Structure 1
Amino acid sequence: MQTTRGSTPRRGISLDYLYIVIGLIGLFFGGEALVRGSVNIARRLSISPLIIGLTVVGFGTSTPELLVSVQAALRGVPDIAIGNIIGSNIANILLIAGLTCLVWPIRVKAAALRRDLGFMAASALLLVPLFTSGEIARLAGLILVAGLTGYLVWTFKMSRQDAVEVQSTDVQSSIGISLLLVAFGLAALVFGGHFIVNGAVSVARSFGVSEAFIGLTIVAVGTSLPELATSIIAAFRRQSDIAIGNIIGSNIFNVLGILGVTALIAPIPVIARFLTFDLPVMIGASGVLIGLLLTRPQIGRGVGAKMLLGYGIYVFAAQ
């Protein structure tokens, strides 16, 4: 809708900034509640916080990506569906892991992550033949969802090997209260991300930023804001397992769950740029993260700063 210069556009822009502020508040409190509730559940059930981070937290914070990609498929805009998934995975590693390292160095035992990192790498590489075919059909979507189901079953079967001892002095909430915290946290993250994306897209359009650039950056990063908030809150609370598990779990769920479900709803055509540019960046970033986690006792602030620089270069090159 065209508008003339005057008070109406200013009020619209002011409302957009208010949406962004509301979204940030929702992300902060949602991330805090999700991390606190998840850690309490892990302790109550003698389950490793890493397992909780990989599943409940990682998959839960990917809800915005699921909603955006499914809606994009139903509306006949497949580029947004795929771009959201690939862009979110790149942002999860380079942007979110980088910022998390700046807050507090990531310290996770490599042995506990080996199988999950392998699964993340396999799911990323699986996209190469799917993208090469030019379309992700319903059969491919079924295979992806089946892979996610197998991963979940295997993860929970192995969780007892990663069990932690419960210390009653550390447990401050019942299972019921913890579940309510997790539910509230997920809801606040979803609504917070929704407000921020809507506000940021409107502000960007008011400054004449192209639709393609909005999709690549604001939509992908916006739907990853729950992961960002959760990982940073976890870093402040010195919960490295939750922080890195959230990133790895989200990346696995984005490919196998979100892309799989979206393809089941409607086959997704794949344009050439995803295969030749964005997917190689995602695979390369995944390889860097895997190498760092398996070869270093911790990922410090210097590496985090380099990750952020790498993300900035990617966004610039992707324009």
Structure 2
Amino acid sequence: MLTAILAIIIGFVLLVWSADKFVESASATAFHAGMPPLLIGMLIVGFGTSAPEMVVSAMAALEGSPALALGNALGSNVVNISLVLGFAAIIAPLTVQSKIVTKELPLLMVVVLVLGAMLWNHTLSQLEAWALLIGFFVVIFWSIYSGMKNKGDAMEADTVEDLKTNTMSLKVAGVWLAVSLALLIGSSRLLVWGAVDVAHALGISDLIIGLTVVALGTSLPELAATVIAARKGEHDIALGNVIGSNMFNILAVIGIAAAIKPMENIGSEIFWRDWMTMMVTTVVLFITAISFKGKKGRINRFEGAILLLFYIGYNGYLIMDVLK
């Protein structure tokens, strides 16, 4: 089991490093290709920070562990809102200015509800998986349309500043893009193998490992990107990272995993405990961050602390459940 634990540690380190390089090189490549800065912030960064979840869940499904794949996606969404945004809000209270962010929040709510309807019968069929993937591409095209329509948005100015600090040439960016993608896939496979091996050795289900250890590890890129953005005062990027990542996790991560291996006989706890937890955290985010009747959305330090406590309580419950 020592080898499996080392595989998890090495896999996490390589995963976080390669994901960061992937986002940086992909952003530089897109910028040199003339892609609008706002779309780079919304799509490249959002997609890049979700890349670990996508690759890990795809590998888990290919290796016959769909529960780990589902747990990774649901757990990552809970981590993103409760731990990532909670920690970021404690560092710097988050104020929402971007119209795009406020439009994406209701869309995220719809996506979460659609997944709940699919999980209600404790199965996730291949047809439902393809529906999620179609929804993913619809969201992508909608984001492109919104980005082109909302020139001069607050989120665009923040993204332009970030891109100016990225000095990669097109050639260097292309090389790093290929290298980081290869490392992303390799480290994900190493992580999945180690996590499954440890879970089986300790008698813990793949689902619990996915909801806790793997979900936290694959959410580290979001944590780093969001905290850095919050410290720099780029609140819309911080929130945009989490909202975009959570939509990608449901539509693409779960969609890809279930398309590879349909999920049958899913335990009822996935709906009543895990999906419900994700739903509650999403509702809390919606209530605090949405702008309403002239009131700007804002997550203050107190609300950030509440979100952090929510994360601790949920993971504490999972651990106590395992120790019974």
TM range (shorter): 0.7 to 0.9
* Alpha-carbon distance, 1:291 to partner: 1.4
- Per-residue CA deviation, residues 176-229 of structure 1 (Å, 9 max, x unaligned), is 6667777777777777777788888889999x6845643321011112122222
- Per-residue CA deviation, residues 239-298 of structure 1 (Å, 9 max, x unaligned), is 323222111111111111121122222211222111111111111111111111114443
- Per-residue CA deviation, residues 108-143 of structure 1 (Å, 9 max, x unaligned), is 215322221122111100012211223211111111
Aligned partners of 1:216 and 1:28: how far apart in 2?
22
- Report the CA distance shift for 1:77/1:32 in structure 2 as closer, same or farther (over 3 A): closer
Determine which of 262, 270, 292 is the counterpart of 1:267: 262
- Report the CA distance shift for 1:39/1:93 in structure 2 as closer, same or farther (over 3 A): farther
Q: Which residue of structure 2 lines up, in the alignment, with residue 160 of structure 1?
A: 148
Q: Which residue of structure 1 lines up, in the alignment, with residue 277 of structure 2?
A: 281
Q: TM-score, normalised by structure 2?
A: 0.76
Q: Which residue of structure 2 lines up, in the alignment, with residue 291 of structure 1?
A: 287
User: Percent same amino acid at aligned positions?
Assistant: 31
More displaced, 169-178 or 249-258?
Answer: 169-178
More displaced, 137-146 or 23-32?
Answer: 23-32
Residue 232 (structure 1) aligned with residue 227 (structure 2): yes
Residue 256 (structure 1) aligned with residue 244 (structure 2): no
Aligned partners of 1:185 and 1:229: how far apart in 2?
17
Residue 27 (structure 1) aligned with residue 16 (structure 2): yes
Aligned partners of 1:108 and 1:186: how far apart in 2?
32
- Report the CA distance shift for 1:138/1:29 in structure 2 as closer, same or farther (over 3 A): closer
- Per-residue CA deviation, residues 19-47 of structure 1 (Å, 9 max, x unaligned), is 74895587368648846974996799584
Aligned partners of 1:118 and 1:277: how far apart in 2?
22
- Contact residue 124 and residue 258 of structure 2 kept, 8 A: yes
- Contact residue 28 and residue 168 of structure 2 kept, 8 A: no
**Root-mean-square deviation over aligned CA pairs:** 3.7
Determine helix, strand or coil for the equivalent of 1:135.
Answer: coil
Q: Which residue of structure 2 lines up, in the alignment, with residue 89 of structure 1?
A: 77
Q: Which residue of structure 2 lines up, in the alignment, with residue 3 of structure 1?
A: none
Q: Which residue of structure 2 lines up, in the alignment, with residue 121 of structure 1?
A: 109
Determine helix, strand or coil for the equivalent of 1:134.
Answer: coil
Q: TM-score, normalised by structure 1?
A: 0.77
Q: Which residue of structure 2 lines up, in the alignment, with residue 307 of structure 1?
A: 307
- Report the CA distance shift for 1:170/1:122 in structure 2 as closer, same or farther (over 3 A): same
- Contact residue 59 and residue 192 of structure 2 kept, 8 A: no
- Report the CA distance shift for 1:223/1:309 in structure 2 as closer, same or farther (over 3 A): same
* Alpha-carbon distance, 1:76 to partner: 2.9
* Alpha-carbon distance, 1:173 to partner: 5.9
Aligned partners of 2:248 and 2:122: how far apart in 1?
22
Determine helix, strand or coil for the equivalent of 1:139.
Answer: helix
Q: How does 1:26-65 map to 2 (within 5 A)?
A: 27=16, 31=20, 34=23, 38=27, 47=36, 49=38, 51-65=39-53
Aligned partners of 2:175 and 2:165: how far apart in 1?
19
Q: Which residue of structure 2 lines up, in the alignment, with residue 243 of structure 1?
A: 238
Aligned partners of 2:32 and 2:234: how far apart in 1?
13
Q: Which residue of structure 2 lines up, in the alignment, with residue 131 of structure 1?
A: 119
- Contact residue 19 and residue 52 of structure 2 kept, 8 A: no
Aligned partners of 2:66 and 2:190: how far apart in 1?
23
Q: Which residue of structure 2 lines up, in the alignment, with residue 74 of structure 1?
A: 62
Aligned partners of 2:7 and 2:194: how far apart in 1?
8
